[in-house]
Chain A
Amino acid sequence: MHAAEYFARMHTTSWNVEKARALVDAERSRVRSFLSGDGADQSAMLPALHALQKTFGFIHADAISVVAHALNVSKAEVKGVVSFYKDFRTQPPGAHVVALCRAEACQARGSEALAAHLQQTHGLQPGQTKHGVTLENTYCLGNCALGPAALVDESRLVGRLDVAKADQLVGSLKERES
Chain B
Amino acid sequence: MKLFVPADAAAQSVGADEVAEALQSALKARGLDVPLIRTGSRGLTWLEPLVEVNTASGRQGFANVSALEVPGLLDAIVGGEPHPSAIGLVESLPALARQRRLTFSRVGVIDPLSLEDFRAHGGLRGWARAMELAPEAIVQEVTTSLLRGRGGAGFPAGIKWKTVAEAKGARKYIVCNADEGDSGTFADRMVMEGDPFMLLEGMRIAARAVGASHGFIYVRSEYPRAVSVLERAIAVLRESRFLGTGFDVEVRVGAGAYVCGEETSLLESLEGKRGQVRAKPPLPAHEGLFGKPTVVNNVLTLAAVPWILEHGGAAYAALGVGRSRGTMPIQLAGNVKHGGLFELPLGVTLRELIFDFGGGTASARPVRAVQVGGPLGAYFPEKLLDTPLDYEAMAKAGGILGHAGVVVFDDTVNLAKQARFAFEFCALESCGKCTPCRIGSTRGVEVLDQVAAGVEPEKNLALVKDLCTVLTDASLCALGGLTPLPVLSALEHFHEDFTRRSR
B48 within 8 A of A: yes
A46 within 8 A of B: yes
Select the residue from B182, B222, B274, B409 with max chain A CB neighbours within 10 A. Answer: B222
Nearest chain B residue, comparing its CB with the CB of A137: B428
Within B1-37, which residues are at the interface with A (CB < 8 Å)? Answer: 9-10, 12-14
Nearest chain A residue, comparing its CB with the CB of B183: A103
B405 within 8 A of A: yes
Select the residue from B10, B48, B258, B332 with max chain A CB neighbours within 10 A. Answer: B10
B440 within 8 A of A: no
Q: Are B255 and A149 in contact (CB under 8 A)?
A: no
Q: Are B409 and A108 in contact (CB under 8 A)?
A: yes
- Known contacts A46-B269, A109-B334, A139 near B181 by CB under 8 Å: yes
Q: Are A85 and B273 in contact (CB under 8 A)?
A: no
- Known contacts A35-B214, A38-B290, A144-B184, A155 near B224 by CB under 8 Å: yes
Instruction: Tell me the complex Cα distance, A73–B289, Å.
Output: 18
Nearest chain A residue, comparing its CB with the CB of B410: A108
Q: Are B273 and A106 in contact (CB under 8 A)?
A: no
Q: Which residues of B contact A (CB under 8 A)?
A: 9-10, 12-14, 45-46, 48, 171, 180-186, 188-189, 214, 221-225, 248, 250, 252-258, 269-276, 289-290, 292, 331-336, 339-340, 362, 371, 375, 405, 407-410, 413, 418, 421, 425, 428-429, 431
Q: Which of A44, A49, A77, A138 contacts B255 (CB 8 A)?
A: A49
- Known contacts A146-B13, A146-B48, A84 near B222 by CB under 8 Å: no
* CB of A118, distance to nearest CB on chain B (Å): 18
Instruction: Tell me the complex Cα distance, A88–B256, Å.
Output: 9
Cβ contacts A to B, 15 pairs, < 8 Å: A39-B290, A42-B272, A43-B271, A50-B253, A80-B273, A84-B275, A103-B375, A104-B183, A104-B375, A140-B184, A144-B331, A145-B46, A154-B221, A157-B13, A159-B13
* CB of A101, distance to nearest CB on chain B (Å): 8
Q: Are A139 and B258 in contact (CB under 8 A)?
A: yes
Select the residue from A105, A143, A146 with max chain B CB neighbours within 10 A. Answer: A105
* CB of B243, distance to nearest CB on chain A (Å): 12
Q: Are B10 and A146 in contact (CB under 8 A)?
A: yes
Instruction: Tell me the complex Cα distance, A141–B223, Å.
Output: 7
A-B residue pairs, 3 tightest by C-beta = A145-B339, A45-B272, A159-B13
Q: Which B residues are in CB contact (< 8 Å) with A80?
A: 273-274
Instruction: Tell me the complex Cα distance, A103–B335, Å.
Output: 13
Q: Are A104 and B255 in contact (CB under 8 A)?
A: no
Nearest chain A residue, comparing its CB with the CB of B408: A108
Q: Which B residues are in CB contact (< 8 Å) with A103?
A: 183-184, 375, 425
Q: Are B418 and A143 in contact (CB under 8 A)?
A: no
Q: Are B214 and A34 in contact (CB under 8 A)?
A: yes
Q: Are B183 and A139 in contact (CB under 8 A)?
A: yes
* CB of B96, distance to nearest CB on chain A (Å): 15
Instruction: Tell me the complex Cα distance, A109–B183, Å.
Output: 12
Q: Are A140 and B334 in contact (CB under 8 A)?
A: no
Instruction: Tell me the complex Cα distance, A45–B9, Å.
Output: 28
Q: Are B222 and A151 in contact (CB under 8 A)?
A: yes
Q: Which A residues are in CB contact (< 8 Å) with B248?
A: 34
Q: Which B residues are in CB contact (< 8 Å) with A140?
A: 180-185, 222
- Known contacts A38-B171, A146-B48, A160-B14, A85 near B182 by CB under 8 Å: no
- Known contacts A39-B271, A46-B255, A106-B183, A139 near B339 by CB under 8 Å: no
Select the residue from B253, B272, B405, B428 with max chain A CB neighbours within 10 A. Answer: B272
- Known contacts A43-B271, A49-B255, A144 near B407 by CB under 8 Å: yes
Q: Which B residues are in CB contact (< 8 Å) with A157?
A: 9-10, 12-13, 225
A71 within 8 A of B: yes
Q: Are B13 and A86 in contact (CB under 8 A)?
A: no
Q: Are B292 and A145 in contact (CB under 8 A)?
A: no
Within A80-119, which residues are at the interface with B (CB < 8 Å)? Answer: 80-81, 84-88, 99, 103-109
Q: Are B421 and A107 in contact (CB under 8 A)?
A: yes
Q: Which A residues are in CB contact (< 8 Å) with B258?
A: 139
A10 within 8 A of B: no
Q: Which A residues are in CB contact (< 8 Å) with B180?
A: 140, 142
A158 within 8 A of B: yes
Nearest chain B residue, comparing its CB with the CB of A161: B13
- Known contacts A139-B181, A139-B183, A140-B222, A39 near B334 by CB under 8 Å: no
Q: Which of A42, A44, A104 contacts B334 (CB 8 A)?
A: A104
Instruction: Tell me the complex Cα distance, A103–B413, Å.
Output: 14
Instruction: Tell me the complex Cα distance, A72–B181, Å.
Output: 31
Within A13-65, which residues are at the interface with B (CB < 8 Å)? Answer: 31, 34-35, 37-39, 42-47, 49-50
Q: Are A71 and B13 in contact (CB under 8 A)?
A: no
Nearest chain A residue, comparing its CB with the CB of B189: A142
Q: Which A residues are in CB contact (< 8 Å) with B429?
A: 139
* CB of A30, distance to nearest CB on chain B (Å): 9
* CB of B368, distance to nearest CB on chain A (Å): 10
Instruction: Tell me the complex Cα distance, A175–B57, Å.
Output: 48
- Known contacts A71-B272, A104-B371, A145-B10, A85 near B339 by CB under 8 Å: no
Q: Are A145 and B332 in contact (CB under 8 A)?
A: yes
Instruction: Tell me the complex Cα distance, A46–B274, Å.
Output: 10
* CB of B482, distance to nearest CB on chain A (Å): 14
* CB of A11, distance to nearest CB on chain B (Å): 16
* CB of B108, distance to nearest CB on chain A (Å): 14
